Every structure is written in C-alpha cells, then in structure tokens.
Amino acid sequence: MTEPTQPSPPQIDPEFIPRHIALVMDGNGRWAQERGLPRTEGHRRGESVLMDCVDACIALGGVEWLSAYAFSTENWRRSHSEVRFLMGFSRDVLRRHRDELHEKNVRIVWAGRRPRLWRSVLRELEAAEELTRANTGVTLAMCINYGGRAELVDACRALAADAAEGRIRPDEVTEQTLTRYLYRPDMPDVDLFLRPSGEKRTSNFLLWQSAYAEMVYQDTLFPDFTRQHMYDAVLEYAKRDRRFGGAVDKFAK
C-alpha cells in the first residue's frame, strides 16, 4: 500500500520554530466511544498518529524535542483493564517502532517515575534509549508514569537528601540547581504546549518546563490528528509574541 501524500511543512523563519513541543495525546477514549468502540481502540489509532507527529517534527526542521504524554501518574486511577492495556501498549509501541525511529536518527528517552511502572515497560524504554543514544535528530521523550508534581517532589527529595548530607547548601539552590534534579536535566524548556481534543488544561504535564510555553489547544481528537494539525499549531506558535516577562513600552519616551 502506498502512503498517502503528506502535506509539505510550512516555510517558517527558523527563529520561530519551537525547539521543544509538548504533546498531550488526548481524546482517544472519546474518539472510540463516539463510534461505539472500546476506549482501547482509540489508543490503538493513536499509535500511527504519534509516529506521524515525529515525522512532522523532522520535516519542520529545528524541532529538537517532542515530549509525548503517554501515561500520567494519575492514570493509575483508570480502570484496571485500561491500565493493563496502556502498560502493555506502551511497551509494544516502543518495541514496534524503535528500529524505524532509530533509522530516522531519532533519540528516544524516557521521563517518568520508576516505582509502579511495569518492569517490561522499563526494559523496553532502556533498550530504546540504549539503541538510539548517539542519534542527533529529534529527541522523542516518552513520558510514561510521568507527573509534573511527582517530578518536582522527586527532585525536592533528592535535593533535600543532598542538603542533609552536606553536599549542597540551601542558600546555594537556584533554578538551575533544581533543574539538575528533574527526570531529564537535559530537557529544554517547552516552547509549544499542544493539546488536541478540546480540553484546555495541562493535566500535570511538564509543569516546571512549561513556565513560559505557548499553549495551543485544538478541537481534534488525537486519533484524527494529522501532520497538518501539527503544522497549524506551529504556524500559530510562530505568530505569538513571547515576552518572558519583559514587556516593551512602545510609547515610552
């Protein structure tokens, strides 16, 4: 079967391409239920959509990180069967796509909390990280058993332990210090926070890193999300005026 023709990426000044896109893969359950299907069918559809998002980031050029929210620390509250499905599914998605992502020079990394995460998922994440460690293209951060608050709590715990051991003085702690204790100290700040599905909230995703992110919410449910939606979001981002707190007074003398 030949691949459908994909839209070309928009021509955008490289300065206005987001370096880090955070993606909330939301709306799978609703998409399935609207069709009288089990929620898991929606997740299955999301698999190829995620791969398409990676391709879109590669085609755009200049996107260095794509962080995908695949399972939150709060998602353990879902039904036992959905949790079981999602754990197995994350593991299988990594296994099914790591070679093709490797060929595309994608570096796969994991961000998340270790306790509770299935050992088989961890093993698959470690194998994917190991295989793609030296790749220099887009970094795909799979955020599995990830929560922004959990990440900050874990960072504070490690920092407090170092302080108690005398390895760091409390008055030396800066924003840069705290960043070193996060799950991925090498993760840049989020530029574009993208959530399809119509919901307008962060749901505890990359809280620290998104302090100055531009939020783009779209109505499309994730299984219907296409490269064009990603391009539209980046175009919208490129139009935003980012000030990082430093307002300019056009009329000041």
Between 203 and 228, name the residue whose CB sits nearer to ligand FPP. Answer: 203
CA atoms of 198 and 48, how far apart (whole Å): 20
Q: Are 70 and 95 in contact (CB under 8 A)?
A: no
CA atoms of 39 and 28, how far apart (whole Å): 7
Tokens of 109: 């990394």
Between 162 and 199, name the residue whose CB sits nearer to ligand FPP. Answer: 199
Active-site entry in 75, 145, 154, 191: 75
Active-site entry in 13, 26, 92, 162: 26
Write phi, then psi, for 146 (nearest 5 degrees): -110, 140
Q: Are 17 and 191 in contact (CB under 8 A)?
A: no
Between 75 and 210, name the residue whose CB sits nearer to ligand FPP. Answer: 75
CA distances from 37 to 42, 45, 49, 204, 252 (A): 8, 12, 18, 28, 60
Question: Which residues of the shown chain bind ligand FPP in the complex (CB under 6 A)?
Answer: 24-26, 28, 43, 46-47, 50, 69-72, 74-75, 86, 90, 93, 199, 201, 203
Residue list for the binding site for substrate = 27-31, 39, 43, 72-74, 76, 78, 195, 201-203
How far apart are CB 210 and ligand FPP at their closest, in Å? Answer: 14
DSSP 107: E
Tokens of 205: 């995703």
How buried is residue 147: exposed, middle or buried, by Cβ count under 10 Å (0-12/13-18/19+)?
buried
CA distances from 60 to 19, 57, 94 (A): 11, 5, 23
How far apart are CB 247 and ligand FPP at their closest, in Å? Answer: 32
Q: Nearest-CB residue to ligand FPP?
A: 203
The one-letter amino acid code at 61 reads: G
Tokens of 201: 């909230």
Between 173 and 215, name the residue whose CB sits nearer to ligand FPP. Answer: 215
Between 10 and 88, name the residue whose CB sits nearer to ligand FPP. Answer: 88
Q: In the annotation, is 75 catalytic?
A: yes
How far apart are CB 195 and ligand FPP at their closest, in Å? Answer: 8
How far is CA 137 from its chain centroid?
Answer: 16
How far apart are CB 202 and ligand FPP at their closest, in Å? Answer: 8
Q: In the annotation, is 99 catalytic?
A: no
Q: Tell me which residues are annotated as active site.
A: 26, 75
